Chains A and B, each alone.
Chain A
Amino acid sequence: MSAKTMFQKIWDAHIVRQDAGQPAILYIDLHLVHEVTSAQAFDGLRLAGRKVRRPELTVATMDHNVPTTDRSLPILDQISKKQMDVLAANCAEFGIELYDLHSKRQGVVHIIGPELGLTQPGMTIVCGDSHTSTHGAFGALAFGIGTSEVEHVLATQCLQQTLPRTMEVRVDGALSPGVTAKDIILGIIGRLGTAGATGYVIEYTGEAIRAMSMEARMTVCNMSIEAGARAGMVAPDDTTFAYLDGKPHAPKGADLEAAMDYWRSLPTDAGAAFDELLTIDASTLAPFVSWGTNPGQVSPITAFVPDPDDEPTESDRASLVRALDYMGLKPGAPLNGLPIERVFIGSCTNGRLEDLRRAARIVDGQKVASTVKAMVVPGSWEVKRLAEQEGLDKTFLAAGFEWREAGCSMCLGMNPDILQPQERCASTSNRNFEGRQGKGGRTHLVSPEMAAAAAIAGHLVDVREWMAKS
């Protein structure tokens, strides 16, 4: 048998049918559903008189436009409320488990899947959301789909897929203090650009990835889509198995033994070939910050705003001018020291317990600058509960942060949490597109540590100096 990549093994194990010249029909093990991209899919089913083929392999939650204020209050935004009500009605009609606003398991869809132990190695996982790549951290093949495909999976539990190419991104060396998984992935996207991995599934390998916790691996896989990749994956190992141990839906007893046999067979075979290879030395990385209007426009915090005149083509120059104009930045200005008015800590990229712990360590005993409004939005109800058990909420509140209920919140600002025009925000989320966090809002993507330090300082800082001081 020839050597196979982990991706190829999972792909092959899920082929229901493959006809020459046609896409493969792949079986989907887990389908995650949320309120924004599902209503039209359920409608389609109803119109065609179709059922959900495997409701028990489908799970739904509300995250994108839920308010993050007191859950006992009525929802003021009637259109958001309608979208949530429609999801609840659809789940009831089609027999799908729903973690709604009042469930203790509610949260950002990519945070609750792993938390519940539903995300496991070797699975195929889809969701009508591009950051589904997060689940690849477990050695699953997980990717985002559109609403028509959501309908397709609901009706058939399968998807038609053409074989993507594979890319190995090897991260050697060890991270220096103050540099995180977020900085690695921002560094990778900076190298690849926002379309550099289009058509590829990435497998992240190397010493730095192996040394990471599951939560850190999720941060890396989460942003694979920002380089254009279909999916990102990390081979399962003892760190993965330890994380899964005891999770509600993780296998137990004899099932666990059988599962482990499969899981251990997944890592890429020695000698298996990838179509592309990118290597990065983690030890050379500094904390990264985005300065433009896409996640490929990033630099180390020690760098300066780039000059459009250095761009190779006129169209590159024009788009850089447009990005800097939108961001209100001058070429050559240092990134370190750039004043900010808002801080957002949360999202499916950096809204997990370890993220909050690391941010809390920075703000402990400090005060948020008087010019800054800062908020922490735990990624799920469970993250919030665990954080409160450790007293992290008190640390943030004492420093002057707001401590909110779980949801996507200001990652995309579909709920009331938005930036005002021209407000500048240090954000732990994943997209700095124009208007993403609110029309005219200016987003700088950073790690939780960097966001926390910026909140205290009132401007972007190099968290490494900050840590040396305190």
Chain B
Amino acid sequence: MDCKEFRESLDFYADGELAPEAEAAARLHLNECAACRRAEAELLRLRRALKRTVAQHQPPPELVRRVEALIGAHRPHRLWQRRISLPAPVFALLLVATLLVGLGVASLRRAPPGKQSASVQPEQKPPAPAPAPQGNLDLARFDHGERATIYKVRRTQAGDAQ
């Protein structure tokens, strides 16, 4: 392939439209000829510049919206459908979890009436020290500084009384 032949097929070469044998011949000529390499480089530069030039325009957002609405007009509840259809497994899991939590709460609420107060007020909490019947208290011990003992006794007695 000589320069004239190469230049005649330069566009097709650059566009990848040459048959394999012709492309191989063109590549061979390019390896040998600096002038044709420059010609090819210029063509590729023109291509890059064209891409850059065309790429500087952006479609206005309202155009994008208008075109989307055009399709949306034929398809009601577009957003709703989309949100359901995309995360279906996640949605199902959330639904099941919500149901389980709901059932749990409901079963607690429906517990036997006797235990109801117990579940609301923890048993560990000591009842507020109520004034015990005077007669059950050994005031002498209290005088000797045995506060704890007195209190314990009073608690046991209160428990027995119930």
Are A and B a genuine interacting pair, yes or no? Answer: no
